[in-house]
Copies of this chain bind each other. A is one copy, B any other.
Amino acid sequence: MDINIKIGEQLAQLRKQKGYTQEHLASILELHEDYIGKIERGQRNPSVKTLLLILDNLKIKYSDFFALLEDA
């Protein structure tokens, strides 16, 4: 599976666990809601910086995120 699809699925799952909507997350990050949706569907190739900014806002440690990704 494409890595961007795996990353997107993991992000969507964690965002929902935190009870955030795409809209809420987008507004915190000052990103467009559509962009969050596209990242979650693996339709964008985000920079490391953008991914880490999303993880900061979801209060997820980077190493924990990638450990989840490796186990998925």
A4 at the interface (CB under 8 A from B): yes
A48 at the interface (CB under 8 A from B): yes
Copies in the complex: 2
Cα(A68)–Cα(B66), bound, Å:
13
Residues of A within 8 A of B (CB): 3-4, 7, 45-49, 51-52, 61-67, 69-70
Please determine whether A4 and B49 come into contact, CB atoms closer than 8 angstroms. Answer: yes
Cα(A69)–Cα(B62), bound, Å:
9
Please determine whether B67 and A63 come into contact, CB atoms closer than 8 angstroms. Answer: yes
Q: Which of B4, B7, B48, B62 contacts A45 (CB 8 A)?
A: B48
A11 to chain B, nearest CB (A): 11
A68 and chain B: residue at smallest CB distance: B63
